[in-house]
Amino acid sequence: MRTHLIISSIALAAATGAASAQEACSTYEIQRGDSLRELAIKVYATEDYRIIYDANRDTIGSNPNIIRVGDVLTFPCLEDVGRAAPEPETEAERMAAEMAAELVKAAEERAAKAIADAEARVAEAQQASDKAVIEAKAAAKKEIEAARAEGAALIRNAGDGTRPEIRDRQLLLITGGNYAPFTDEALPNRGLYTNLVETAMLRAAPEQAYKIQFVNDWSSHLDLLMPTLAFDATFPWSRPNCEEAETLSESDRNRCETYNFSNPFYEVVDTFFAKDGSGYETSLSYAEFVGTTICRPEGWSTSHMDAVGLYEPAITILRPVDPDECFHAVMDGRADLVAIEAHLAVEAIGRLGYEHKIIENPNLAAIKSLNVMTHKDNPDGEAILETLNQGLAIMQQSGEWRDIVSTALQYQMENG
C-alpha cells in the first residue's frame, strides 16, 4: 500500500529529504516533506499552489491537501501560467537581454560559490572549538553578503542604466508585529517580509538611508501615521482590485484612492477557518456562508469577500482590532468563520490552544499579494516604490528572494 503523506495547504512540511531542484516544463516525483505550496514557491516564485494542482487534478484527486509520496506531477511551462518573460522585439533588446542573462548567471555562480565555500569552512570549524565556529560563521556571513552585493551590482548594470534617485534624508518605513512569519521584532531579521524589504533597498540603492519602525496598532498606520506623512511607506498590505472599484467596500476604495502600491513582494493564501464539526469547514460554495457571521480583523482588505457576495447584509461581519479575537469569537459562538491569512492562522491557532478545534476550509481560498504602500500625497512616494521594485527584481533574478523565503519558512516550521 502506498504511503499517504497528508500536508495542510496552510503549512510547509519539513524540507529534509525533499528534492532540491524543480523547474517548470518538467515532471517531478513527490518526496516526503513536499507540499504543493513549497513546490509552487520553488518553481514559480509564488504561493499559488493551484498552478500545480490544476495541472495535476487527475493525479492528486479532489483534495489538494493530500499528496502521495511517489506520485509524479507535471509542472506547466512558464508561458502556460502567464509567468514567462516577454520576448524582446528588436535585435538590440535581444542582445541586451542576453548580456543581462550572462551577468545574472555570473552573479548566481559567484554567490553560490561563496556560500558553498563558507559552509565548508563552517563545517570544518565545527570539528574544532566553539570559538572557531563563531569566527567561521561571522566570516562566512561577511563573504556571502559581499558576493550578494557584487551580484546585485552586476544585475543593476545589466539594466537600462537608470538608478533610483537617492534622497538626502532618512526614509521612514512602518510595519507591525504579531504577523509571523512576515513581521515581528522577535523573529530573525524581524520577519520574512521585513527582510525582503530591507534587502530590496540594499540591492537597489545601498547608499540610501532608511529606518523601519514597528507600531503594533496596525489600524493606526492607515488612520493616522501614513495620512499625516509621518512615515514614507508601510508594509505588508494587500492591494484590492482597484480596477473594479464599484465592487469594493468603502474602506478598500479609499485604500485604492489614497495609496500607491509596490510590486508584490510575496503572495499569501487568504482563506476561511471554522469550528470543527460546524460544517463550514467543508463548504464547497461561498453561497453556503450566506447568513453567517464572519470575523475579519480591522484594517484587512475585504475585496476577495466582496467579489463573491460576502458583504452585509448577506453576512454579518465582525471587525476586531486584534486577530486573536476572531478565533475566540468562533470558539464562543459570536462568529461562524474567520477570514484570515493562512500563515497567521496557523500561528494563532497553535498559540491559543485551538488545534483540532478550529480548522481550515481548503476549498475556498484566495491568493492575495502583499505589497508596500506609499501615500499619494508623499512627493517621494513613487520614487520609493521604484527603488523597492528594482531591488525586488534584482533579488528575484539572483535567487536571493528564494533563499530568504525558504530560510524564513524553514525557521517557522521548526520553531512554530
CATH superfamily of 268-369: Periplasmic binding protein-like II (3.40.190.10)
Annotation: CATH topology of 4-81? Membrane-bound Lytic Murein Transglycosylase D; Chain A (3.10.350)
CA-based radius of gyration for the chain? 22
d(CA 287, CA 283): 9
**What is each CA distance from 146 to 34, 140, 161, 357, in whole angstroms?**
32, 10, 22, 48
Considering the chain, what percentage of its residues have pLDDT values greater than 90? 42
Q: Mean of the pLDDT values across residues 359-369?
A: 87
The pLDDT of residue 85 is 58
* Cut 0.85: pTM above it: no
pLDDT over 60 at 14, yes or no: no
- The answer to which of 35-49, 82-96, 252-266, 274-288 has the lowest mean pLDDT is 82-96
Encoded amino acid at 223, one letter: D
How many C-beta atoms surround the C-beta of residue 306 within 10 A?
17
CA dist 343 and 337 (Å) reads: 16
**Residue 45: pLDDT above 80?**
no
- Name the band, by pLDDT with cuts 50, 70 and 90, for residue 244: confident
Q: Which residue do the cell numbers 512540511 mark?
A: 13
pLDDT value at position 12? 33
Task: For the chain, give the mean pLDDT.
Answer: 82
* Residue that is written with C-alpha cell 465582525 in the block: 318
Question: What are the sequence ranges of the domains in the chain?
Answer: 4-81, 91-157, 171-266+370-415, 268-369
Mean pLDDT of all residues in 393-407: 84
Q: Do domains 171-266+370-415 and 268-369 have the same CATH topology?
A: yes
CATH class of 171-266+370-415: alpha beta
Residue 227: predicted pLDDT: 94
C-alpha span between 188 and 183 (Å, rounded): 10
